[in-house]
Amino acid sequence: SSSSGDEALRDKRARILSRGLPKQKPIEGVKQVVVVASGKGGVGKSTTAVNIALALAANDSTKEVGLLDADIYGPSIPKMMNLKGNPELTPKNLMRPLKNYGIACMSMGFLVEEAAPVVWRGLMVMSAVEKLLRQVDWGQLDYLVIDMPPGTGDVQLSVSQNIPVAGAVIVSTPQDVALLDAHKGAEMFRKVHVPVLGLVQNMSVFQCPKCKHETHIFGADGVRDLAKTLGLDILGDVPLHVNIRETCDSGQPVVISQPQSD
């Protein structure tokens, strides 16, 4: 019958396509990997990734949490986690993550000077990402949070296809331009069979510290509308607040420095 023929053809295509995909290999010692991504830069993805990692550890002190900065060109984790220095090497020539607030961290920012630009082509970037994933002694982690670079390019595909990813968190502001790219990011993870855990609406509203008037600088509820369109959950609605910016810039993220704040 035509239906059975169509099914056989689909199976054949799937087999052909799968031949070119790398086999997923878990990161030694890591139980669950969660990626934090965005289609566009400047939406607060790294801030969200840092505070998610810290919140996971604060929520259950028995859990070991790591944080990987996969943004090779613009690493932010060293400053936000108040870490400096070069990683030591183990006898097996693996890099030891730097730790602060109980979180094991690895970033390209530990391997280059703070003000030095990383002027690399794609193949060198992919090699660096592979080293950050595979040549690090993560020990035994319950969660590894990966701060992805913005976009839907080589790094996102490589991470998604080379290691088992438990889920992706998409961060966006409510602005239409950011939402277009966030939609693309969510669809990319679906195409590579990575579950999208939900969306975080960042910089959702600004409240004047003097008169308490609220202004939706980037628009209102755009991420909530996108979540409905995609059939996804809203994991958080984060205001544009000076404390969030100041605490990350000072290397004392808000989850650590102001754990009771709303």
**Cross-strand partners of 214:** 207
Residues 6+ apart with CB under 8 A from 59: none
d(C-alpha 81, C-alpha 252), whole Å: 7
Beta strands 141-147 and 30-37, pairing class: parallel
3-class secondary structure, 132: helix
pLDDT value at residue 260 = 73
Q: Does the residue 4 lie in any domain? A: no
Q: Does the residue 174 lie in any domain? A: yes
d(C-alpha 146, C-alpha 159), whole Å: 9
Q: Does the residue 46 lie in any domain? A: yes
| Cα 110 from chain centroid (whole Å) | 18
**Cα–Cα distances in angstroms (integers) from residue 153 to residues 43, 71, 103, 183, 239, in the given order:** 18, 12, 27, 14, 29
Q: Does the residue 126 lie in any domain? A: yes
DSSP 46-115: HHHHHHHHHHHHHH-TT--EEEEE--SSS--HHHHTT--SPPPB-TTSPBPPEEETTEEEEEGGGTS-TT
Sign of the alpha-carbon torsion through 19, 29, 118, 46: positive
Q: Does the residue 136 lie in any domain? A: yes
pTM: 0.87
* AA letter at 37: A
Q: What are the residue ranges of helices labelled H in the chain?
A: 2-19, 45-59, 77-80, 122-134, 154-162, 176-191, 222-230, 242-249, 254-257
Q: Does the residue 238 lie in any domain? A: yes
Domain span at 73: 27-257
Q: Does the residue 175 lie in any domain? A: yes
pLDDT value at residue 116 = 74
Q: Does the residue 35 lie in any domain? A: yes
pLDDT value at residue 100 = 96
Q: How many domains does the chain have?
A: 1
Is 195 exposed, middle or buried (CB count within 10 Å of its CB: 0-12, 13-18, 19+)?
A: exposed
pLDDT value at residue 209 = 82
pLDDT tens digit at each of 262 positions of the chain: 556 667 777 776 666 555 555 678 999 999 999 999 998 888 999 999 999 999 999 999 999 999 999 998 889 999 999 999 999 999 999 999 999 999 999 999 998 877 777 877 778 888 889 999 999 999 999 999 999 998 888 888 889 888 999 999 999 999 999 999 999 999 999 988 999 999 999 999 998 888 888 899 998 899 999 999 999 999 999 999 888 889 999 999 989 888 876 5
Here the CATH number for the domain that contains residue 94 is 3.40.50.300
